């Protein structure tokens, strides 16, 4: 009798455990992929929270506490207590400047990058934009895990297909199996000619990713340069189409070629620009001409894009105060606006705005996703194609 009772208890316990496992899996399956696009004022820092709860952070913004404070606000709002993978797309100040401060505040499991920089010690004629970063970074990832990625690698994020498609100046050429449109000729290549771009080649080393959750697909390429985009997307498109495009290089025209943007055919584009950095007029025109694009979302209203080319206000997370905006719009034109490849983006001496608002994306495996603006509560849902 006792043996029978024990057996029944074991069976019951096993059944309850199995039910809990099924419930947990079902719960994970119904949770969305959440993406927080914060405001590093012309830098880059994006938090991805998978339905499984695993986390990926792409870049850490500028040095100091300002951008890390903003990032930690998003991390707290997401209920995150650990970064599983921290991808540094490349080693420019507006992308890795906050890393040393961030690791003091939250555990990081694995550091991901393209390998050695082409700045400083590797190419002596180029300086490290964050002095001493490589030595400090090696000490940091030496206490954790470190992963140098190449095109075709997959990050092991439960429930997501996180595929690396660019790194170290190399690009994926094998079509992604099952991706809509992957492997087909890219008609936009005919209207995309190489550019003679004068910029730090570290940009071209950027780690780029295509992320898939069921039928939802998103792409992020850091600061990948125009000619590298052509290498990736021409003559055939190995990536297929995406729903969400994280606009490359803050919206600068050293990137964002028609071959890339029109080849991907995104439904929505999210731009981490600054008030005076990125959102170049010709980039805004390329985006709006992309087949199937519905909206551009911006972290900042841009003086570069001006009245004619900025997104409507409901799609812009951070605005200038009306007095400053009026003064700038009525002032004589200034030479050299809209360029820049480094850090601060609101103009010399301009104080940071407070509060700083983020843009949040929530995506379902069905392919439906929504984007919301934390400044005004505006949200738009994009139903599955």
pLDDT tens, position by position, 332-368 = 655 444 444 444 444 334 566 778 999 999 999 999 9
Q: Note the pLDDT of residue 3.
A: 46
Q: Note the pLDDT of residue 30.
A: 79
Q: Note the pLDDT of residue 126.
A: 76
Q: Note the pLDDT of residue 29.
A: 54
Whether the pLDDT of residue 52 is over 70: the answer is yes
Measured CA to CA, the distance from residue 125 to residue 123 in angstroms comes to 6
- pTM value is 0.88
Sign of the torsion angle spanned by Cα atoms 238, 244, 247, 253: positive
Q: Note the pLDDT of residue 337.
A: 40
Whether the pLDDT of residue 15 is over 50: the answer is no
The CATH number of the domain holding residue 162 is 3.60.15.10
Measured CA to CA, the distance from residue 359 to residue 56 in angstroms comes to 16
**Is residue 173 in some structural domain?**
yes
320 pLDDT band, cuts 50/70/90, is confident
Percent of residues, the chain, with pLDDT higher than 70: 83
319 pLDDT band, cuts 50/70/90, is very high
Contact call for residues 190 and 160 (beta carbons, < 8 A): no
**Is residue 2 in some structural domain?**
no
Q: Note the pLDDT of residue 212.
A: 98
Average pLDDT over every residue of 180-207: 93
Q: Note the pLDDT of residue 302.
A: 96
Query: Structural domain of residue 307, as residue ranges?
Result: 28-382
**Is residue 129 in some structural domain?**
yes
**Is residue 3 in some structural domain?**
no
- Domains of the chain: total: 1
The 3 state secondary structure assigned to the chain is CHHHHHHHHHHHHHHHHHHHHHHHHHHHHHCCEEEEECCCCCCCCEEEECCCCCEEEECCCCCCCHHHHHHHHHHHHCCCCCEEEEECCCCCHHHHCCHHHHCCCCCEEEEEECCCCCCCCCCCCCCCCCCCHHHHHHHHHCCCEEEECCCCCEECCCCCEEEEEEECCEECCCCCCCCCCCCEECHHHHHCCCCCCCCCHHHHHCCEEEEEECCEEEEECCCCCHHHHHHHHCCEECCCCCCEEECHHHHCCCCCCHHHHHHHCCCEEEECCCCCECCCHHHHHHHHHCCCCCEEEEEECCCCCHHHHCCCHHHEEECCCHHHHHHHHHCCCCCCCECCCCCCCCCCCCCCCCCCCCEEEEECCCCCEEEEECCCCCEEEECCC
pLDDT-wise least confident of 16-30, 266-280, 346-360: 16-30
Whether the pLDDT of residue 49 is over 60: the answer is yes
Average pLDDT over every residue of 96-105: 98
Q: Note the pLDDT of residue 385.
A: 85
144 pLDDT band, cuts 50/70/90, is very high
197 pLDDT band, cuts 50/70/90, is confident
**Is residue 18 in some structural domain?**
no
Q: Note the pLDDT of residue 353.
A: 72
> What mean pLDDT is reported for the chain?
88
**Is residue 223 in some structural domain?**
yes
Q: Note the pLDDT of residue 350.
A: 52
Average pLDDT over every residue of 227-233: 98
**Is residue 321 in some structural domain?**
yes
5 pLDDT band, cuts 50/70/90, is very low
Whether the pLDDT of residue 90 is over 70: the answer is yes
Does residue 355 have a cis bond before it (omega within 30 degrees)?
Answer: yes
**Is residue 14 in some structural domain?**
no
Give exposure, 268-287, as e/b (b: 16+ Cβ within 10 Å). Answer: bbbbbbbbbbbbbbebbebb
Whether the pLDDT of residue 244 is over 80: the answer is yes
């Amino acid at each position: 009798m006792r043996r029978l009772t024990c057996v029944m208890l074991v069976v019951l316990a096993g059944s309850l455990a199995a039910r809990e496992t099924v419930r947990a899996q079902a719960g994970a399956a119904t949770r969305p992929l959440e993406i927080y696009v914060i405001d590093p004022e012309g830098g880059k820092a994006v938090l991805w929270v998978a339905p499984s709860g695993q986390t990926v952070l792409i870049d850490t913004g500028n040095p100091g506490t300002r951008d890390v404070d903003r990032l930690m606000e998003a991390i707290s709002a997401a209920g995150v207590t650990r970064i599983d993978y921290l991808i540094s797309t490349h080693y420019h100040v507006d992308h890795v400047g906050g890393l040393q401060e961030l690791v003091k505040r939250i555990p990081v499991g694995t550091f991901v990058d393209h390998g050695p920089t082409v700045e400083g010690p590797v190419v002596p004629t180029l300086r490290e934009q964050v002095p001493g970063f490589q030595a400090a970074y090696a000490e940091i990832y030496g206490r954790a895990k470190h992963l140098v990625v190449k095109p075709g690698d997959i990050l092991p994020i439960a429930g997501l297909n996180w595929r690396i498609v660019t790194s170290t100046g190399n690009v994926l050429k094998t079509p992604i199996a099952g991706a809509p449109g992957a492997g087909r000729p890219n008609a936009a290549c005919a209207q995309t000619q190489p550019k003679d771009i004068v910029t730090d080649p570290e940009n071209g080393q950027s780690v780029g990713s295509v992320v898939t959750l069921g039928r939802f697909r998103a792409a992020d390429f850091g600061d990948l340069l125009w000619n590298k985009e052509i290498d990736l997307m021409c003559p055939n498109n190995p990536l297929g189409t995406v729903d969400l495009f994280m606009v490359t290089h803050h919206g600068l025209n050293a990137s964002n070629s028609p071959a890339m943007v029109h080849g991907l055919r995104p439904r929505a584009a999210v731009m981490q620009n600054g008030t005076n950095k990125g959102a170049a007029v010709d980039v805004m025109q390329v985006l709006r001409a992309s087949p199937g694009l519905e909206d551009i979302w911006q972290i900042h209203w841009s003086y570069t894009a001006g009245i004619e080319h900025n997104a409507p206000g409901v799609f812009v997370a951070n605005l200038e105060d009306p007095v400053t905006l009026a003064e700038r719009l009525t002032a004589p034109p200034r030479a050299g606006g809209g360029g820049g490849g480094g850090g601060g983006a609101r103009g010399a001496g301009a104080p940071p705005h407070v509060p700083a608002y983020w843009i949040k994306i929530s995506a379902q495996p069905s392919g439906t996703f929504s984007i919301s603006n934390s400044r005004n509560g505006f949200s738009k849902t994009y139903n599955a194609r």
